[in-house]
Structure 1
Amino acid sequence: MKKFIRITLVVLVLLGAAFLMFRTPDTDREAMIAKYGNEASQFLDDGNGGQIHYRDEGNKDGPAIMLIHGANSLLQTWEPVVGLLDDKYRMISVDLYGHGLTGPNPTGNYSADANIAAIVKVLDHVGVDEAYWVGNSMGGWLTWRGGLAVPERTAGLVLIDASGAQTDEQIKPYLGARLAQSAIGQLLLPEITPRFLVKSSLEENFAQPERLTEELVDRYWELLRFPGNRQAAVDRGKADREPEKWADVGTLKMPVLLLWGEQDKVIPLSHGKAFEAAIPGATLISYADAGHLPMEETPEQVARDIGNWIESVTSEEQAPN
């Protein structure tokens, strides 16, 4: 019995030492705002004690585009596309709850409805009644869910490697997602998030990892450790994704464009084809040289196709009956 107690104590000491050695503390909130905010960064009081970080850039007289990032991402993921379209379009981007400079939701609610409400709150605040919603991955899921929930606020939807399609295909989550889904990961990730883990996860999202810069890795790593974001990631993973809503996706009435990286290992192209089959009139465009984040890997193609599509939608709406 004494031997067992000694061994247990030794193990506990070793675990404690390992925790102290590998623990990665939160970054400083104000330092992150200074580093990753810019002149377009604004913070909106959500009425519940939270501050939603958003940017409202580009041509204020042009059609509005609402840009919605994916899980564990941030609004900066859209910067290349914003730079290519902001002369013609009003480009609004937002850090969702538990991401970027927004930080966690004080209510602990990470449901689709809570995020859609935050997006609509930003649109209300900047005075935009209707926008083209453009979303990647989880943001793509929120985009089509927004089309169902608040169709009057959506001129059209662009789903970029979007999640939410219910198919029989088994897909393997990237490393960070696998850890977040495990009990030990949920316990450790809010405290231990090594940079190599973030880099490895990003490499799995890129078709050509050499495009992944160290500066980009630092940005993801530092903002993941923005106070409260890591615990929010764990809490978000426990939220109900409501897979039954997939049955309603075919009722979307607004124009829908699907953009997909053919080398996406996170949400394969087959899911894009499932959306195409389920949504009447949807258009699918795929990119041979992109993975899960085409707007970061091949922004020129993404910006071109979004711009051309909005022009075609606008032309059709203005055409005489």
Structure 2
Amino acid sequence: MTTAITEHTSNITLLNVQLYYEWYEPNVHRSNQVFLLIHGFLSSTYSFRYLIPLLAKTHTVISIDLPGFGKSEKSTSFRYSYKNYSQLIIDFITAFSLKHVVLIGHSMGGQIALRTAKIAPALIERCVLIGGSAYLKRAKKAVIYSSYLPFVSFFIKKWFKKNDVKENLLTVVYNKSIVNENLIKEYGEPLQHKRFLDCMIRLLRHREGDLLSEEMQSIATPCLLVWGKHDKVIPLTTAHNLLTDLPNAKLVVYEDAGHLVSEEQPEKLAKDILEFLNE
């Protein structure tokens, strides 16, 4: 029997860094729109594993691991700025001549999606921001400068290693029962790469502040904001501020979800995304 979805994984080199991606195609009833998924901080394409098959029934779905995360290269020469991350998305779209692209970004991925829509609006048809990062300032200069000191880098790495994956997961979900040993293993494994913490230090140094309100006010791309009511990482107040600043946005709030909406409410999320496309 022919499967409903065809999938493959591969790598592509863009901006001199190797990018891992997963590509899913429906075998029947294919829409001309393409979903491009961008994960959040300390995450990977794994966080979309429940959402992908729901969207891939009718749409091409592509999920990437950002440099420094998941299965993508842990480069110590890449500049880990949002500008570069957004340029990677643009170059990926261009490399495969993708049309009718809908960006779906979670947390940090939401900020990258917004930046991409601002830089290259002609390439992006719509954006879906799931607990999207916004209004965060750049790290203070003293913190950035001190990150170059050997003993400070040591303490940053020690802090990361002490930060328990299980405790982090319990913080970002509303339904604590979904945090099991397999979830802890899958989210924790990529963080053990020998160069991962060096990449995170570079991200601390290179990350710009999030887009300013006046910058977002020029983004005409239709945006769906999806938020868990119990999001402790990016609170619901951020969603309401985005709703004010983005000219063409709507907000959907999930009562029984935290920051990891795609883990807790994938069916509802897929339904709302597909309905958003038809508005």
Q: TM-score, normalised by structure 2?
A: 0.85
Task: Report how many aligned residue pairs link the two structures.
Answer: 260
Distance in structure 2 (CA, Å) of the matches to 1:73 and 1:306: 21
What secondary structure sits across from 1:300 in the alignment? helix
Residue aligning to 1:43: 11
Unaligned segments of structure 2, at least 5 residues? 1-5, 138-146
| Alignment CA distance shift 1:244-1:65 (3 Å) | closer
Residue aligning to 1:128: 98
Is the counterpart of residue 306 in structure 1 residue 276 in structure 2?
Answer: no
Distance in structure 1 (CA, Å) of the matches to 2:71 and 2:216: 31
Residue aligning to 2:70: 100
What secondary structure sits across from 1:238 in the alignment? helix
Greater alpha carbon shift after TM alignment, 56-65 vs 112-121: 56-65
Unaligned segments of structure 1, at least 5 residues? 1-37, 168-179, 313-321
Is the counterpart of residue 153 in structure 1 residue 123 in structure 2?
Answer: yes
Q: Which amino acid aligns with 1:306?
A: I
Q: Which amino acid aligns with 1:54?
A: Y
Residue aligning to 1:268: 235
Is the counterpart of residue 116 in structure 1 residue 86 in structure 2?
Answer: yes
Residue aligning to 1:201: 168
User: What displacement does 1:244 show?
Assistant: 5.4
Percentage of identical aligned residues: 25
Structure 1 or 2: more helix by fraction: 1
User: What displacement does 1:202 show?
Assistant: 1.3
Q: Which amino acid aligns with 2:212?
A: K
Distance in structure 2 (CA, Å) of the matches to 1:162 and 1:208: 20
| Alignment CA distance shift 1:192-1:273 (3 Å) | closer
Q: Which amino acid aligns with 1:154?
A: I
Is the counterpart of residue 71 in structure 1 residue 41 in structure 2?
Answer: yes
| Alignment CA distance shift 1:69-1:117 (3 Å) | same
User: What displacement does 1:76 show?
Assistant: 1.1
Contact 1:73–1:99 under 8 Å retained in 2: yes
Q: Which amino acid aligns with 1:85?
A: L
RMSD: 2.4
Deviation readout 1:20-60 (Å, 9 max, x if unpaired): xxxxxxxxxxxxxxxxxx96221102252x21000111238
Is the counterpart of residue 210 in structure 1 residue 177 in structure 2?
Answer: yes
Residue aligning to 1:295: 262
Residue aligning to 1:82: 52
The residue correspondences of 1:157-168 to structure 2 (distance < 5 A) are 157-165=127-135
Deviation readout 1:52-97 (Å, 9 max, x if unpaired): 0001112384210110000110011111111111011110110001
Contact 1:103–1:226 under 8 Å retained in 2: no
Distance in structure 1 (CA, Å) of the matches to 2:224 and 2:277: 9
Q: Which amino acid aligns with 2:12?
A: L
Contact 1:166–1:246 under 8 Å retained in 2: no
Is the counterpart of residue 251 in structure 1 residue 218 in structure 2?
Answer: yes
Match of 2:111 among 112, 121, 141: 141
User: What displacement does 1:128 show?
Assistant: 0.6
Q: TM-score, normalised by structure 1?
A: 0.75
Q: Which amino acid aligns with 1:293?
A: L
Contact 1:103–1:229 under 8 Å retained in 2: no
What secondary structure sits across from 1:122 in the alignment? helix
What secondary structure sits across from 1:53 in the alignment? strand
User: What displacement does 1:126 show?
Assistant: 2.8
Runs of 4+ residues deviating >6 angstroms: none
| Alignment CA distance shift 1:87-1:243 (3 Å) | closer
Contact 2:26–2:59 under 8 Å retained in 1: yes
Which structure would you say has the larger Rg? 1
Contact 1:164–1:246 under 8 Å retained in 2: no
Distance in structure 1 (CA, Å) of the matches to 2:202 and 2:166: 22
Is the counterpart of residue 223 in structure 1 residue 190 in structure 2?
Answer: yes
Distance in structure 1 (CA, Å) of the matches to 2:195 and 2:177: 31
| Alignment CA distance shift 1:191-1:42 (3 Å) | farther
Deviation readout 1:73-127 (Å, 9 max, x if unpaired): 0011111111111011110110001100003234330111111121222223333
Contact 1:103–1:227 under 8 Å retained in 2: no
